[in-house]
Amino acid sequence: MGRRAIVAAFGAAAQVFLLAVMSTAYAEEVRAEAQPAALAPPPPSIVEPAGPPPSEADQGSASPAAAPADDIAVSPAPSGENEPAVSPAAALGSEEGHDPADTADTAAPTPSDGEQKPADTAAVAPGEDQPPAADTAAPTPNTDEQQPAGTATAPADGTTAPAVAEESPPAHPIVAAIRLMLQDPALRKGAAADDLAALEAFYGERSGPPLWITGMGFSARAQAVITEIQKAGDWGLAPEAFDLPPASDLPATMEDQASDEIKLDLAALKYARFARGGRMSPARISVLFDQKTDLPDPKTVLTEIAASASPGAYLTSLHPKQAQFEILRQALIKAVAASKARGRKPTSEATIQRLIVNMERWRWMPADLGSYYVWNNIPAFTTRVVKNGKSIYVEKVIVGQLKYATPIFSADMSSIVFNPDWTVPETIKLEDLQPRLRQTRGGVPDVSVLRDNKLSVSYQGRPVDPETIDWERANILSYTFTQEPGQDNVLGVLKFNFPNRHAIYMHDTLQPELFEETARTLSHGCIRVRQPDRLAALLLAEDKGWSEQQVKGLLAKGSNSVVMLARPVPVYLTYFTAAADGVGRLQTFADVYGLDKKMASVLFGKAEAIPDDAPVPDRSRKRSAWNANSGSFTDSIRGLFGN
């Protein structure tokens, strides 16, 4: 091929390229002008050739075959049921940012006679050879491809495209600085993980100004929070436990403003947690405390304090609301003032330490005790029935020995048992029954202790003859020892069930004279009640409307009867060494299990101020009868076990 032929061929190709580009641009212009306001299809537009046809010398090159101008029409965009759906997130058809629907106006391969032609493409006359696509023909965009964010795609039927969600406004500069500072490892070392997570979530959602800090320092709301935290001592908390920024601080930089904001946030969250009992875990003091604190969610605290009209009052509202707590608090305020007047350090005095210790235990109690409940206070050796905040019944009780200390927990009373039977607990099996059963008479186990006290023996639910068992080798815990109802039953005539994992309950006793003792730590853990028939009558009158005569009549029958309560009654076993009586007078009690000293050591670093005043009851008379094998097992079991 000569040079002239090469030049001619190149010119022809250039003309084809120019024709395709001009046709595309013109088709887009026609489509834009003909776009209807409603859904009606646009009128057809006539497309004229964009350039002269190629010369005869160029006929052999691959150029598109064009129909006469009168036969070339732009097909209207299809609408209705046959129109393929176009997703608002359809892929963009060209790099110039054109709507994908517009790219259909560019030259594209013509479908065969049996196929549906894409909209807005030039029709090819029947019988003509299908021309190859021009180099500039853009393929129809694939609607499954991802469209760049922020680009709206107009539906092909002309309807309005869905609005694209606007991006969130940029965060306030100080809030942005707070977000960044919360990632500082140095900050994260000294703060609670839950508090930090709450701050990240709170400020991550906040784009407006910070919660506390302003260009002129702390806001009035922030000042109220700082002031309230500084008065934490009035609520039994230590003000020095909270790392507060100075109320008058005027931070010069955004970083300093962010630091002050975070510091006040963390102090407020810590105060909220301490107010609800998060200063220490009850189990850290003793396993006797079977209580779980209900700590507030820090994110909820931030949300609520931000919405509160009085954020300082919001913080104090998190403290216990029981009347007993408030009586202790008022006594604390007076005692602290008197201590300061004497020039003493308040927290070094026993009275103040004991008040704070008891206030802390109220934080471990449920926020709502209920309108009707039973309250057993171990150091006071008393049980109460409280209705609408008033004590309507008060009676003496006997609690567990130090070795078998009564645990501190709460449960719901579900039933009252009249004339109960008694199942010997494991501790008594091992410590008291087993030594006696291992004694022999003439080579036969001495089971007189079982006969004398009407204790039957069973193994896996089947009665067994105790004389046929080798108690030297037998596992006594595999056997069940039961005492039938009767005058000698150690539970007496009444038992109050509130199911719990400690197997603790309240019951009658066969030794009412023990209630005359001052220190009544005498049982194996369960609570013995003086005159339990009064308690039963009170509870059943409330629950079922029973009269006192109905209760006495059921007791007189002597048969084992279980009366289920229609409404379970909350039962609280507590350890308060300072509590108000029925008329609001504050009383103090001996620390019978030594738990005040343990708590004081945690709260104040030392507990020398609190005396060792746990009483030691005289039980030598009862023990001597047992050790000498004199007297009856009933005497021993009444005085030592009883549960």
User: What is the distance, to the nearest Å, from the Cα of residue 66 to the centroid of all Cα atoms in its chain?
Assistant: 74
In order of 171, 262, 269, 366, 512, the CA distances from 199 in angstroms are 15, 8, 10, 27, 59
Examine the pLDDT at 232 and tell me if it is beyond 60: yes
* pLDDT at 388 > cutoff 50: yes
> Which distant-in-sequence residues (6+ apart) come within 8 Å of 166 by Cβ?
none
Question: 295 phi and psi, to 5 degrees?
Answer: -80, 145
Domains of the chain: 1-85+94-143 (no CATH), 173-319 (no CATH), 352-442+471-614 (2.40.440.10)
Comparing 113 with 446, which gets the higher pLDDT? 446
Q: Is residue 624's pLDDT more than 50?
A: no
- Treating both helix axes as pointing N-terminal to C-terminal, what angle do 350-363 and 323-341 enclose, rounded to 10 degrees? 150
Q: Is the pLDDT at 635 greater than 60, yes or no?
A: no
3-state percent helix, strand, coil for the chain, nearest multiple of 5: 40, 15, 50
3-state DSSP assignment of residue 604: helix
Higher pLDDT, 18 or 201: 201
Do 408 and 573 form a contact (C-beta atoms < 8 A)? Answer: yes
What six digits make up the tokens of 131? 């021309």
What is the per-residue pLDDT for 168? Answer: 67
pLDDT(73) > 60: no
Q: Which of 320-324, 428-432, 559-563 has the lowest mean pLDDT?
A: 428-432
What's the pLDDT tens digit per position in 158-172?
A: 555 555 555 667 889
Ramachandran region, residue 616 (left: φ > 0; alpha: ψ -120 to 50; beta: rest): beta
d(CA 594, CA 448): 40
Q: Phi and psi for 180 in degrees, rounded to 5?
A: -70, -40
| Burial class of residue 127, CB neighbours in 10 A (0-12, 13-18, 19+) | exposed
How far apart CA 66 and CA 49 sit, in angstroms, is 8
Task: Calculate the alpha carbon distances from 398 to 376, 391, 587 in Å.
Answer: 10, 19, 19
What 619-622 contacts at long range (C-beta under 8 Å, 24+ apart), as own/partner pairs, is: 619/522
C-alpha pair distances (Å), 36 with each of 32, 75, 158: 9, 14, 8
Q: In this structure, what token pair is assigned to residue 363?
A: 């934080």
Confidence class for position 608, pLDDT limits 50, 70, 90: low
Q: Please say if the pLDDT value at position 102 is more than 90.
A: no
- pLDDT digit string, tens, across residues 486-542: 888 999 999 999 999 999 999 999 999 999 999 999 999 999 999 999 999 999 999
Asked whether residue 83 carries a pLDDT value surpassing 60, the answer given is no
d(CA 294, CA 369): 13
Round to whole Å and give the CA distance between 252 and 493. Answer: 77
pLDDT band, residue 136 (cuts 50/70/90): very low
pLDDT value at residue 477? 95
Q: Is 417's pLDDT higher than 60?
A: yes
CA-derived radius of gyration, the chain: 44
pLDDT for res 614 = 64
- In this prediction, residue 611 carries a pLDDT of 74
Give, to the nearest 10 degrees, the angle between helix 298-307 and helix 254-275.
110
d(CA 496, CA 643): 12
How large is the average pLDDT for residues 48-64?
41
Q: Percent of the chain, pLDDT > 90?
A: 62
Q: What is the rounded average pLDDT of the residues 134-153?
A: 43
| Whether 127 contacts 134, CB under 8 Å | no
**Confidence band, pLDDT 50/70/90 cuts, at residue 61:** very low
Give pLDDT tens digits for 258-277: 999 999 999 999 999 999 99
The pLDDT of residue 441: 83
Number of residues that make up the chain: 643
Which secondary structure element, helix H or strand E, spans residue 195, and what is its range?
Answer: helix 193-205
Averaged pLDDT of the chain: 78
- Residue 388's SS3 state is coil
**CB neighbour list of residue 515: distance below 8 Å, 6 or more residues apart:** 396, 398, 530
pTM check: above 0.85: no
